[in-house]
Amino acid sequence: MPSRPSKTLDTFANPNPERDYLIHIEVPEFTCLCPLTGQPDFATLTIDYVPDRRNVELKSLKLYMWSYRDEGAFHEAVTNRILDDLVRALAPRFVRLTARWNVRGGLFTTVVAEHRKRGWKPVPHVDLGRFAPASPVGGPAT
């Protein structure tokens, strides 16, 4: 049976809840529709999160992202709505959603939205050189 878009985000138990670790997910083919013109908008979404008790199941995330393909939404609204849905499903220690929208009318738009669990603080950053990107686990991104 072919897959279908879905607004359901399935999760599974974090296999290492005692440890802060970063999960980095890139969604290079996100699409939705401009609510004013009905034309497609394209973005690359980057999800960086530190799980608490739940992790997102990737196939459900793919189907969730697909569910926006025929919806009209402003860049700011859809970015924040996706973040809210991730927070509801995962209750993560930290999550950052970066939406880099393709050029439209000569303008690029990037929308960044974050959530931190109350009381959670990242561990101090350890710099391992240019091959180790800064993250919320090890301090602020540069």
User: Which residues are annotated as catalytic?
Assistant: 34, 41
Residue type, 112: V
> What's the maximum distance between 2 C-alpha atoms anywhere in the chain?
48
Closest by CA position to 95, among listed 48, 27, 44: 48
* Helix and strand totals (H; E) in the chain: 2, 6
Q: What pairs with residue 109 in β-bridges?
A: 101
